[in-house]
C-alpha cells in the first residue's frame, strides 16, 4: 500500500458503480414477468466472466451477457428472441449515470485527482456508454479488460492500468460498488473504495480485505477520498 503523501489516480468501475443498470429492468419485466430477474442475470454474468478467467478462457463481456440471458431463460422454459438480445444490447449501451455521479466526479476533478475508468465491457465503441450518459468528459483514460483478456478481479486487469499510466498499483484507488472488485484491487496493491449501492455490502469474513473507504453515496465517498489525500495536513511541512 502506498503512503498517503502521494495522490493516487482514481480508477472507476463503470457498470452499476457509475451507470444505472436498473434501466434494464423493463426488459426483464417483459421477458420474465419479474424485473428482479435482472439481479440473477447480472450475478450469473459476473460468475461466468470470472469462471472464464479462472479457466484460462476468454469471451467478450457482451457475448457472455447475451449467453447469460439465454441461460437464465432456459432455466425458466423461456426462449430468448433476437429482438430481446437487441434490446439488451441497446439498453446496456445507453444506461444513464446515477444522480450522484456528476457532482462527485466534479468534486474529485476540482480537487486535482486524475480520473480513469476500468470496465469488463469493451470501450472501443463511439460514442461510449459514458459519453452517452454525459460523463465521458470527466475521465482522462478509459481502460477495458479486453486488453489483457482477463476479467476483474484478476490482478492483471489492475496492473494493466498501472502499467499504461506509468505508475505502481499502490498509486491507484479503485472505486466500485462490488466488493469482489475492491478485494481484487486491494490484493493487487491498490487502495479500495466501496460504494454500497443497493444489493451491495461488506463481506464480514476473515481474510477479506476491508475497503479503505466505504459509503452509500458517491458524494460521501468522494469527500472521504479528498480528505484523505487533499486535506491541508497532507501538504503542511513536516
pLDDT in single tens digits along all 238 residues of the chain: 334 558 999 999 999 999 999 999 999 999 999 999 999 999 999 999 999 999 999 999 999 999 999 999 999 999 999 999 999 999 999 999 999 999 999 999 999 999 999 999 886 677 899 999 999 999 999 999 999 999 999 999 999 999 999 999 999 999 999 999 999 999 999 999 999 999 999 999 999 999 999 999 999 999 999 999 987 654 443 3
- pLDDT attached to residue 74: 98
pLDDT single digits (tens) 115-143: 999 999 886 677 899 999 999 999 999 99
Total-model pTM: 0.93
Return the domain boundaries, the chain: 9-19+95-234, 21-93
- pLDDT attached to residue 5: 54
Contacts of 91 (CB under 8 A, 6+ apart): 23, 24, 26, 27
CATH classification (class only), 9-19+95-234: alpha beta
User: Within 13 Å of residue 141, how many CA atoms lie on the same side as its CB?
Assistant: 15
Q: How many CB atoms lie within 10 A of CB 40?
A: 15
Contacts of 213 (CB under 8 A, 6+ apart): 191, 192, 193, 194, 221, 224, 225, 228
- pLDDT attached to residue 124: 63
CA-closest candidate to residue 120, choices 55, 53, 23 = 53
The reply to whether 21-93 shares the fold of 9-19+95-234 is no
21-93: CATH topology: DNA polymerase; domain 1 (1.10.150)
Amino acid at each position: 500500500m502506498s503512503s498517503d503523501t502521494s495522490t493516487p489516480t482514481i480508477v472507476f468501475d463503470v457498470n452499476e458503480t457509475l451507470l444505472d443498470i436498473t434501466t434494464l429492468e423493463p426488459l426483464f419485466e417483459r421477458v420474465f414477468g419479474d424485473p428482479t430477474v435482472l439481479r440473477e442475470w447480472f450475478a450469473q454474468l459476473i460468475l461466468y466472466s470470472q469462471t472464464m478467467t479462472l479457466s484460462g478462457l476468454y469471451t467478450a463481456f457482451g457475448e457472455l451477457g447475451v449467453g447469460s440471458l439465454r441461460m437464465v431463460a432456459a432455466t425458466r422454459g423461456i426462449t430468448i428472441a433476437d429482438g430481446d438480445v437487441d434490446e439488451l444490447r441497446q439498453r446496456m449501451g445507453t444506461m444513464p449515470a446515477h444522480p450522484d455521479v456528476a457532482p462527485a466526479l466534479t468534486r474529485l476533478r476540482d480537487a486535482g485527482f486524475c480520473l480513469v475508468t476500468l470496465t469488463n465491457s469493451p470501450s472501443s465503441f463511439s460514442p461510449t456508454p459514458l459519453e452517452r450518459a454525459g460523463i465521458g468528459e470527466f475521465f482522462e483514460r478509459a481502460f477495458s479488460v479486453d486488453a489483457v483478456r482477463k476479467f476483474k478481479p484478476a490482478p492483471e486487469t489492475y496492473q494493466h492500468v498501472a502499467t499504461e499510466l506509468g505508475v505502481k498499483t499502490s498509486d491507484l484507488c479503485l472505486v466500485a460498488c462490488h466488493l469482489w472488485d475492491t478485494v481484487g484491487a486491494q490484493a493487487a496493491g491498490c487502495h479500495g473504495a466501496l460504494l454500497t449501492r443497493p444489493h451491495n455490502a461488506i463481506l464480514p469474513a476473515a481474510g477479506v480485505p476491508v475497503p479503505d473507504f466505504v459509503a452509500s453515496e458517491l458524494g460521501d465517498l468522494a469527500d472521504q477520498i479528498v480528505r484523505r489525500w487533499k486535506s491541508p495536513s497532507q501538504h503542511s511541512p513536516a
